[in-house]
Amino acid sequence: MNEKHTDTENLGWELIGWDSDEQAAHVTDLNRVEILGIRDLFPARDDDFLETAAYEVPPALYSAMRSAIPHLEFRPGLEYQIGGFLLSV
């Protein structure tokens, strides 16, 4: 993985559960420390902080993600993705 410097102070992250109508039905905000705890669960990522794309979160990862971030909730019937975005400055 390329160890380029990433300024994470202006980044935010969300775990989004999408319903069958492609609506964001469940959104959980995540912080930098939480992302550091789960980023290795996504070995195919293109960046160190999951900030440049939306990454699919398959059900097989739910348990490992809950172990790293206990407050996470995954609702039945939703398809989850995680990704970062630039905060308004």
pLDDT at 47: 86
How far is the C-alpha of 52 from the C-alpha of 26, rounded, in Å? 21
pLDDT at 58: 97
- The pTM for the full model equals 0.85
User: DSSP secondary structure string, 29-74?
Assistant: EE-HHHHHHHGGG-TT-SSSSS-SSEEEE-GGGHHHHHHHSTT---
What is the per-residue pLDDT across 18-38, written as a single tens digit (0 to 9) for each? 999 999 999 999 999 999 999
Q: What is the mean pLDDT of each run of 10 residues along the chain (89 residues)?
A: 57 96 96 94 89 93 97 97 85
Q: Hey, which residues does 13 pair with through a beta bridge?
A: 30, 84
Q: Which two tokens stand for residue 12?
A: 């935010």
pLDDT at 6: 56
